[in-house]
Amino acid sequence: MNVKQYDAIIIGAGFAGLYMLHKLRERGLSARVLEAADGVGGVWYWSRYPGAKCDSDSIYYSFTFSEELYKKWRWKDRYASQPEILQYLNFVADELNLRPDIQLKTRVTKAKFQEEAKQWEISTDQGEIFEAKYLISGVGCLSTTNIPPFEGSESFKGEQYHTGRWPHDKVDFTGKRVVVIGNGSSGVQTMQEVAKEAKEMTLLMRTPHYVAEARNHPLSKEEQEQAINNYKGIREAFFNTPGGIRLYTTGKSATAFSAKEQKEKLEHIWETGGLSLGSVFTDVSANKEANFVVSQFVRDKIDEIVEDRDTAQLLHPNYYITTKRLIIGTNFYEIFNEDHVHLVSLKDNPIERIVENGVQLKNGTVECDVIIYATGYEAMTGSLLKIDIEGRNGKTIQEKWEDGRNVKTYLGLMMESFPNLFMITGPQSPSVLTNMPAAIEQHVDWIDQCIEYLEEKGIQTIEAQKESELEWAKQCDDLANQTLYPYTNSWYTGANIDGEQRGFVIYVGGLNNYKAICDQVAANDYEGCTFE
Ligand code: N01
The predicted-structure confidence for 441-480, as pLDDT tens digits, reads as follows 999 999 999 999 999 999 999 999 999 999 999 999 999 9
Residue with the smallest CA separation from ligand 1 atom 41 is 148
* Helix, coil or strand: residue 42: coil
Q: Region 294-314: what's the mean pLDDT?
A: 98
d(CA 125, CA 106): 6
Q: Is the CB of 62 under 6 A from ligand 1?
A: no
Q: Region 162-180: what's the mean pLDDT?
A: 96
Whether 496 has a pLDDT exceeding 90, the answer reads no
Q: Tens digits of per-residue pLDDT, 89-104?
A: 999 999 999 999 999 9
| CA-closest candidate to residue 14, choices 383, 504, 399 | 383
Closest ligand 1 atom to residue 325 Cα is 25
Q: Region 350-375: what's the mean pLDDT?
A: 98
Alpha carbon dihedral 380, 164, 334, 434, in 10-degree steps, equals: 30
Residue with the smallest CA separation from ligand 1 atom 43 is 375
- pLDDT grade for 503, boundaries at 50, 70 and 90: confident
Residue with the smallest CA separation from ligand 1 atom 11 is 206
Q: Region 378-396: what's the mean pLDDT?
A: 93
- Strand ranges, E, within 336-441: 341-345, 351-355, 358-361, 364-367, 370-373, 388-390, 421-423
Ligand 1 mean position, distance from CA 186 (Å): 6
Residues 37/46, Cβ–Cβ less than 8 Å: yes
Closest ligand 1 atom to residue 375 Cα is 30
Ligand 1 mean position, distance from CA 60 (Å): 23
Closest ligand 1 atom to residue 351 Cα is 4
Residue with the smallest CA separation from ligand 1 atom 29 is 182
318: left (phi over 0), alpha (psi -120 to 50) or beta: alpha
Q: Tens digits of per-residue pLDDT, 413-450?
A: 999 999 999 999 999 999 999 999 999 999 999 999 99
pLDDT cut 70: percent of the chain above it: 99
Q: Tens digits of per-residue pLDDT, 219-245?
A: 999 999 999 999 999 999 999 999 999
How many residues in total does the chain contain?
532
Ligand 1 mean position, distance from CA 318 (Å): 17
Give the pLDDT confidence score for residue 500 in this predicted structure.
Answer: 61
Q: Is the CB of 496 under 6 A from ligand 1?
A: yes
Ligand 1 mean position, distance from CA 269 (Å): 23
- pLDDT grade for 407, boundaries at 50, 70 and 90: very high
Tally of CB atoms within 10 A around 531: 14
Q: Region 284-292: what's the mean pLDDT?
A: 97
DSSP 426-462: -TTSSGGGS-HHHHHHHHHHHHHHHHHHHHHHT---E
Q: Region 269-280: what's the mean pLDDT?
A: 96
Ligand 1 mean position, distance from CA 7 (Å): 37
- pLDDT grade for 393, boundaries at 50, 70 and 90: very high
- pLDDT grade for 403, boundaries at 50, 70 and 90: confident
Q: Is the CB of 317 under 6 A from ligand 1?
A: no
Residues 286/256, Cβ–Cβ less than 8 Å: no
Residue with the smallest CA separation from ligand 1 atom 24 is 185
d(CA 225, CA 457): 44
Give the pLDDT confidence score for residue 490 in this predicted structure.
Answer: 85
| CA-closest candidate to residue 374, choices 140, 14, 50, 40 | 50
Q: Is the CB of 207 under 6 A from ligand 1?
A: yes
- Strand ranges, E, within 263-331: 327-329
- pLDDT grade for 499, boundaries at 50, 70 and 90: low
Helix axes 231-240, 436-457, angle to 10 degrees: 80
Residue with the smallest CA separation from ligand 1 atom 44 is 54
- pLDDT grade for 501, boundaries at 50, 70 and 90: low
Ligand 1 mean position, distance from CA 480 (Å): 21
Q: Region 183-199: what's the mean pLDDT?
A: 98
Give the pLDDT confidence score for residue 328 in this predicted structure.
Answer: 96
Residue with the smallest CA separation from ligand 1 atom 13 is 182
DSSP 62-89: S--S-HHHHHH---SBSS-BHHHHHHHH
Whether 489 has a pLDDT exceeding 90, the answer reads no
- Determine which helix (DSSP H) or strand (DSSP E) holds 159, and give its type and residue range: strand 159-162
d(CA 81, CA 434): 19
Answer with the residue of higher pLDDT: 288 or 500. Answer: 288
Q: Tens digits of per-residue pLDDT, 316-338?
A: 999 999 999 999 999 999 999 99
Give the pLDDT confidence score for residue 215 in this predicted structure.
Answer: 97
Q: Is the CB of 142 under 6 A from ligand 1?
A: yes
Ligand 1 mean position, distance from CA 266 (Å): 25
Q: Which residues of 399-421 are buried (b: 16+ CB within 10 A; e: fewer)?
A: ebbeebeebbbbbbbbbbbbbbb
Q: Region 199-216: what's the mean pLDDT?
A: 98
Q: Is the CB of 493 under 6 A from ligand 1?
A: no
Q: Is the CB of 48 under 6 A from ligand 1?
A: no
Residue with the smallest CA separation from ligand 1 atom 10 is 207
- Determine which helix (DSSP H) or strand (DSSP E) holds 99, and give its type and residue range: none
Q: Is the CB of 53 under 6 A from ligand 1?
A: yes
Ligand 1 mean position, distance from CA 380 (Å): 13
Tally of CB atoms within 10 A around 93: 20
d(CA 25, CA 31): 7
ipTM of predicted complex:
0.97
Give the pLDDT confidence score for residue 382 in this predicted structure.
Answer: 85
Whether 493 has a pLDDT exceeding 80, the answer reads no
Average pLDDT over the chain, rounded to an integer? 96
Q: Region 473-500: what's the mean pLDDT?
A: 85
Cα dihedral 20, 462, 502, 292 sign: negative
510: left (phi over 0), alpha (psi -120 to 50) or beta: left
Ligand 1 mean position, distance from CA 251 (Å): 30
Which mutation among 84, 142, 501 tests ligand 1's pocket best, with the greatest number of atoms within 8 A of CB? 142
d(CA 347, CA 361): 11
- pLDDT grade for 1, boundaries at 50, 70 and 90: confident
Q: Is the CB of 483 under 6 A from ligand 1?
A: no
DSSP character at residue 177:
E
Q: Region 149-172: what's the mean pLDDT?
A: 96
Which mutation among 162, 206, 318, 366 tests ligand 1's pocket best, with the greatest number of atoms within 8 A of CB? 206
| CA-closest candidate to residue 204, choices 257, 150, 132 | 150
Q: Region 153-166: what's the mean pLDDT?
A: 97
DSSP helix, strand, coil percent of the chain (3-state; round to 5): 40, 20, 40
